[in-house]
Amino acid sequence: MLIRFKGHIAESEVTDQVLYVDRRRFLALGAAGAAAMMFPVGRADAGALDYTKGAVTLDEKMTPFEAVTTYNNYYEFGTDKEDPARVAPGKLKTTPWTVSVEGECAKPAKLAYDDLIKPHQLEERIYRMRCVEGWSMVIPWVGVPLAQVLKRFEPTSKAKYVEFTTLADPAQMPGIRSRVLDWPYTEGLRMDEALHSLTLLAVGLYGQELLPQNGAPIRLVVPWKYGFKSIKSIVKIRFTETQPATAWNKSAPGEYGFYSNVNPAVDHPRWSQAKERRIGEFLRRETLPFNGYADQVAGLYAGMDLKAQF
């Protein structure tokens, strides 16, 4: 992503850092830890969730729990990959949690976490996730299709987009004292993207409640878009008639567009998007259009010039 204070980071440096961190962690953990990375188990201090195995699965090796929960982007807690796991657990207070649903809908409401999530059956969805920086993971999320949640608020015919906002509390989030982004972090989807059956409102991973570094207690997961669209720790959902501004697009419009679909044919100005390094693997693999979900989602963009609308 954009790291203003650290200057330009070449893709090779980023991917080398991924390998370096992986190797260092592997060595530091010793034999037991290494086994845990390969055969991840959940953490005792995170709540177990009641969920069904979803219909959407993936025949690819899952990224170990250890890596999913310690190699993160969550700039509200710092810009280094290890900052969120180091800082967020002691700082982010996730109960009570309230989400305000506003804008172009017949039934706006402010709902406590339980009232928003508990009416729904949670399911597990194993998704590929790809970061614009060139690394990827396979994560077993637990959540509810966003469409099921949004429909309860009865969006009107004027609702063409959905805007999401993350909590921005300097007392809990030391990273927002830096001006690396214009806080609060916001993201947006077109209504048909938000209602697509792959779009998940996630509350857990590996069968347990989300840890703070992964965006507890509620985050978005949009598997055919670059990771930055998958906004964490959501406190506001707003239906809008016009395309909402997004945090990364505001900060660097030439680098981050509104759509942000994974597209190996359109390079980021600083990073090729043709290949990616799956965390835990050494050789880079080809990046697939729409991150491998083209059959399901390419139709949403029929007729659009995806080079211009990146």
Binding site for ligand MTE (CB under 6 A): 1, 72-76, 131, 166, 185, 214-215, 227-228, 230-232
Nearer to ligand MTE, 161 or 228 (CB): 228
Residue 15 tokens, joined: 């991917």
Helix (H) or strand (E) holding 113: helix 113-117
Measured distance CA(295)–CA(289) in Å, rounded: 10
CB of residue 71 to ligand MTE, shortest distance in Å = 7
Q: Residue 90 or residue 303: which is nearer to ligand MTE going by CB?
A: 90
CB of 187 to ligand MTE, least distance (A): 7
- Picking from 292, 281, 280, 285, the residue whose alpha carbon sits closest to that of residue 40 is 280
CB atoms within 10 A of CB 136: 23
3-state SS assignment for residue 209: strand
C-beta closer to ligand MTE: residue 150 or 180:
180
> Least distance (Å) from ligand MTE to the CB of residue 225?
10
Number of residue whose CB is nearest ligand MTE: 227
> Least distance in Å: CB of 93 to ligand MTE?
15
Return d(Cα 21, Cα 24) in angstroms, integer. 5
Confirm if 229 and 261 have CB atoms less than 8 A apart: no
Q: Which amino acid is present at 120?
A: H
Cα 298 from chain centroid (whole Å): 20
Q: Compare residues 81 and 196 and give the one whose CB is closer to ligand MTE.
A: 81
Q: What's the closest the beta carbon of residue 106 comes to ligand MTE, in angstroms?
A: 28
Q: Smallest distance, Å, CB 51 to ligand MTE?
A: 18
296 vs 224: CA distance, rounded Å: 9
Nearer to ligand MTE (CB atom), residue 58 or residue 152 = 58
Q: Do the beta carbons of residue 17 and residue 82 sit within 8 Å?
A: no
Residue closer to ligand MTE by CB (options 155, 229) is 229
